[in-house]
Amino acid sequence: MSIIKHEESILVFTYKNTNTLLHFAGSQSWVLNEKRARKAKYLICARNCHNSLSEETVGHGAGFFVGKICGLRPAFTNQYHDRWMIEFNEYAEINVPGIWQGWRNPVNYMPTSEIEIDFEKLNFKSVPERDLDFIKNHLEYEDKFEGRSSTVDFVREPSDNHKSNEKGISIQDAKQLLAIRYDVEVDNIEIILKG
């Protein structure tokens, strides 16, 4: 079955609150069907108050945040492989009790037309610029809470050279991105060009 762009939206079950989502300018660390997620229109966040890291204590299962999806990127963490951040450039706060139906998977793809939210009536606002210092401190806190050694020294936005464009990227930039993606040292990556 072919999925048309914007036919679906993504509903996630998260312990993060609106403040954290806005500082990240996205929601992470999700295991996603990348092709399907890239076609989704909205990210709807439902509150998980039962997680030990939960930033809110009331409203478990309620929808509290909608973001207009503008992209995907590797999550700001190297604790897990193949984790994604769902980025958004506009957001609206909502209060939809019981939107989370107790699904086992914290990521649900749903037809946008079947979600009981009138997206046209939401007051969307622009998302502030991503706060890398906040992200680094937040990830260090999570690592400490989980008893992991902190591994967030790479937290940074890709430079313009990292972003894909008609000129491509340098080998060194590609190696740095691959090192983050696969949790290996840059020196352990070899790239061979044939042509």
Phi-psi region of 137 (alpha: psi -120 to 50; beta: other; left: phi over 0): alpha
User: Which of 98, 95, 94 shows the shortest CA–CA distance to 123?
Assistant: 94
Write b or e for each residue in 86-99: b if 16 or more Cβ atoms lie within 10 A of its Cβ, otherwise e: bbbeebbebebeeb
pTM, to two decimals:
0.76
How confident is the model over 162-188, as pLDDT tens digits? 444 445 667 777 777 776 667 677 778
Cβ contacts of 160 within 8 Å, gap of 6 or more = none
**Cα 60 → chain centroid:** 20
CB 108 within 8 A of CB 30: no
pLDDT in tens, 64-84: 999 999 999 988 875 666 889
